Structures are given as structure tokens and as C-alpha cells.
Structure 1
Amino acid sequence: MKTLEVLIVDDERLARARLRRLLANQADIRITGEADGAESLREHIRKHVPHVVILDIEMQGEDGISLGHWLAELANPPAVIFLTAHREFALDAFSARAAGYLLKPVSAAQLIDALHTVQRPTRATQTTNQGAPLPMLSVLAGRRSRLVPADEILAFRAEDKGVTAFTRQGRFFVDDSLKELEARFEPAGFLRAHRAWLISRAAVRSIERDAVGHHWLEMDEVGEPVPVSRRQLSRLQASLRP
């Protein structure tokens, strides 16, 4: 069994002690150290880069988001799981290439699950072929906010009360508008199929035409045909040609 090396970063001593207690009985997780801020974090990283950094966002001095960006630029960056009491930091967190995002107070089960599912990033896997950061989506599952990378998202559907994201892990309600999502995810291969649908080009199986002349997309794992508007048809067909 591979041991996961973890560094805890929080400017509150009691918070660091609580995280240690939550992970105390995990044979496959080893806490390599603690840091109470930017200076001590950098000192730890100069000596040894762990697999995962558990990083509080709201700290005195340099905050966790800024430190997350610094960690992401390392040649061999650790995975970063952010902790915060506020969900609104999620967009900032994924801009720092977060591997996880947990809302306080975090439970042992939530923390252990996040650590067991995290993958250590590399500079290559954090970017698209064009070199731009791979966009990610913040979704809320219970009390845990998680980040879904673009390559696991199949489509977005606008509804009366918001937008549903169709992902390989299931469906999630998101707060962003379809227009905002289109601006963010278009560089990652997402296209507007209809005024109510934004789809991943990579997830499209085929374009079908029914008996009355309407066009529909058959897509991976979406579970329903996706309508194609006349306005978007030509652009969509051109983009899907090999």
C-alpha cells in the first residue's frame, strides 16, 4: 500500500491539531509536517514536496489562494485540497488548480475521501494542448464542494431555476449562467448546440435527423437526446468533422 504524504497548512494551531486527529488512524496517510503560514510552507516545500497539501484559504498575511497559485507553478507540484468556511472561494480555488475543496467544519470521512480520490497533478496535465489552464467547474455535493475538470463534463442544460451540469460522476446544479459557462469552457472544446444546451464536442457520438427535420445529438452518458437549433447546426456540423 502506497503511503500518501500530507502537509497541513493553517494559521490556527487548534485547527491543525484537529486535522491531525482526523487522520491519526489512517495507515496509508502520513503527515509530514505542519505550517502556520506562507513562510513556513515555503520552508517545508524547499526541503520536501509532499503528495498533498491541505491548505486553509483564510490566513493572516498571504492567503491560501495565493499560496495555491505558487504551489501550482512548481516543477513537480503537490495536489492541493483547500479548506474554508465559505463556498464563494471555489472559483478562486480552481483557478489555483485545486484538487479538492472542503467546507468547514470538515468531517473525518470527508477529509479521508478527498485524500483517497486526489491525484497529484503535473504541469502537463494541468493544461490543455494550447497551454491554457484546463477549466474546472465547482459543484456542491452535500456539504462538500468539489471541482470537476472540463474533460469529465459532458454538457450543460439551462433550466428555469439555473443550469444542470452533466458529468461522468452524475448531474449537478450550478449557479453560473449558460453564457458564463460558454465563455469559460469554449476554449476546452465546448459548443452551443441550442439556446438551452452547451455541449462537449468530445462527448458527441453522432448528429441525427428525425422524420420532421429536427436535428439531435446522441451523446455519451447524458441519458437523453440533445436538440440542435437551426442557428447552431452548420457550426456544429463543421466542428465535428474529422
Structure 2
Amino acid sequence: MTTLDIVIADDEPLARSRLRRLLSGHADLRLTGEAACAAELRAMVIQRAPHLVILDIDMPGEDGLSAAHWLAEMPAPPAVIFVTAHPQFALDAFSAQAAGYLLKPVERDRLLAAIEAARKPTRASASALQSAIEPPRVSVSAGRRARLLPAEDIVAFRAEDKGVTVFARDGQYFVDESLKNLAQRFEPAGFLRVHRAWLVALGRIRALERDAVGRHWIEIAGLPETVPVSRRQLAELHARLRR
């Protein structure tokens, strides 16, 4: 069996020690590093390219969910298994494409089962398979609750300084993801990135306009503002609309 290189990220030394003990004694599991914060994790992942990251959610500074979204954008992302004392983050973990979600104190059998589930299929093939089977969804916060918003309820996404605004049929939401990551998941479901800051649902476009200086804009049903179209995306937009 292929040996998995693993990195643990948890700000609690005792939690890291427990995970280290649970992984010991398995020749196919190799612990290659431990991080106490997201910044240490980022540097370690770039340097050591692990197959799997066991990641705490509640850490000082950048939390584990944000770090997981960053990991998911890597060309060959490691699998991520979350370990946390907070069950309410399960939906958010799903949006970060987690391979597993374990509650502390972590039990050996559950950890080993999650690791085996992360082995096959790979993260890349699992993501592609999920996109082919069911429409993508994004986890958003509604008060104290998290809900999964399906593609058919989304009008557009707009990139912000730190995250993305989701324009939905029933309102606006903010998610801590990148527009690049969302485009990878939603473009197969009928969305197109028409501008560096905009990802829109093609089925909701009502008009394509050109202004006096040659800039193009689209009007989208359910969106209170027009959306700019970059020159490099204009030809692709025309082609997709003709279909």
C-alpha cells in the first residue's frame, strides 16, 4: 500500500500529541510535520507536499476553514481531514472539499477510517465525480445557521477584497472562498467567469450591451446592477450564449 505523507495542524500541543500517537505503528502512514497555525501549515505544505493534512478548525489567526480553501486551490491539493470540537462547522467543511470531519477527542478507528476514505478516490477525481453526479452547492451563513445553496438558486458571484459575495434569489451572502475556486465548481453547471471579479449564471442573462467607448455590460435577472464583461471573455460569452 502506498505510504501517505501526513501533516498535522493544531494549535494545541496535547491535541497534536494525541494525533501523533494514533498515527504511530502504521507503516503506511508517515508523519512529515506538525504546524501550530495556518501560516506554519502553508509553509510546510509548500515545502513538503504532503498527501494528507489533519487540520483543526478553531486556531488563532487564520482558521482551519480558510486554510483548507487555500489548500483546495493548489494544483495538486492534499486531502484534508478536519478535527474539531465544534460539530456546527460540518457544512462549512463540506464547502472546503474536506475528505473527513472528526470530533475531538478523536478515536483511532474513526481516524483510520477517514484516512482510508481519503486514499481512494483522489481529491481531484472525487471532485470531478461529484460535479458530474450532482449540481454544485456553496455553504453560506444565514444567521446562526449554515445552509447549502444550490446552483439553481444563485444569480452571480462577485469577488471582494477577502472573499466573495453570493447573489441569490433570496438575498446576498458572503463566503470565505476565492472566485477561482467557485468558478472551477460552478462553470460546468452553467456559469461563466465574464470578468476577473464576476462569475454569472448564463441562464439569467437578459441583455448584452455595448457603451459609447466600446465596453460591454450584461443585464442579469435578479441582479440590481449591470455586470462588466472583459474583452478576453467576450468571445467566450458570445459562444456560450449562442448555444
> 3-state DSSP class of the match of 2:127?
coil
User: 1:155-166 to 2 correspondence within 5 Å?
Assistant: none
Counterpart for residue 131 of structure 2: 128
CA distance in 2, matches of 1:115, 1:136: 25
User: 1:80-119 to 2 correspondence within 5 Å?
Assistant: 80-119=80-119
* Mapped pair 1:48 → 2:14: no
CA distance in 2, matches of 1:123, 1:75: 13
Q: Which of 167, 184, 206 does residue 150 from structure 2 map onto?
A: 184
Distance 1:186 1:25, change over 3 A: farther
> 3-state DSSP class of the match of 1:118?
helix
Give the partner amino acid of 2:150.
Answer: R
Q: Which runs of 5+ in 1 are unaligned?
A: 138-175, 188-242
4+ runs deviating over 6 angstroms: none
CA distance in 2, matches of 1:8, 1:185: 33
Counterpart for residue 4 of structure 2: 4
> 3-state DSSP class of the match of 1:61?
coil
Distance 1:9 1:101, change over 3 A: same
Q: TM-score, with normalisation over the residues of structure 2?
A: 0.53
Q: Residue 99 of structure 2 contacts residue 117 of structure 2 at CA under 8 Å; is this kept in 1?
A: no
Counterpart for residue 60 of structure 1: 60
Q: Residue 76 of structure 1 contacts residue 123 of structure 1 at CA under 8 Å; is this kept in 2?
A: no
CA distance in 2, matches of 1:134, 1:24: 37
More helix by share: 2
CA distance in 2, matches of 1:60, 1:85: 15
Q: Residue 65 of structure 1 contacts residue 92 of structure 1 at CA under 8 Å; is this kept in 2?
A: yes
Q: TM-score, with normalisation over the residues of structure 1?
A: 0.53
Distance 1:68 1:186, change over 3 A: same
Counterpart for residue 172 of structure 1: none
Q: Residue 51 of structure 2 contacts residue 78 of structure 2 at CA under 8 Å; is this kept in 1?
A: yes
User: C-alpha displacement at 1:122, in angstroms?
Assistant: 1.9
User: C-alpha displacement at 1:184, in angstroms?
Assistant: 2.5
Counterpart for residue 231 of structure 2: none
Equivalenced residues, count: 144
CA distance in 1, matches of 2:39, 2:2: 29
User: C-alpha displacement at 1:123, in angstroms?
Assistant: 8.0
User: C-alpha displacement at 1:136, in angstroms?
Assistant: 8.8
Give the partner amino acid of 2:79.
Answer: A
User: C-alpha displacement at 1:5, in angstroms?
Assistant: 1.2
CA distance in 2, matches of 1:30, 1:79: 14
User: C-alpha displacement at 1:4, in angstroms?
Assistant: 1.2
Counterpart for residue 34 of structure 2: 34
CA distance in 2, matches of 1:124, 1:91: 17
RMSD, matched Cα: 2.9
Distance 1:117 1:136, change over 3 A: farther
Counterpart for residue 149 of structure 1: none
Distance 1:24 1:136, change over 3 A: farther
CA distance in 2, matches of 1:133, 1:37: 34
Distance 1:36 1:123, change over 3 A: farther
Distance 1:86 1:133, change over 3 A: farther
The percent identity for this pair of structures is 53
Give the partner amino acid of 1:107.
Answer: E
Give the partner amino acid of 2:127.
Answer: T
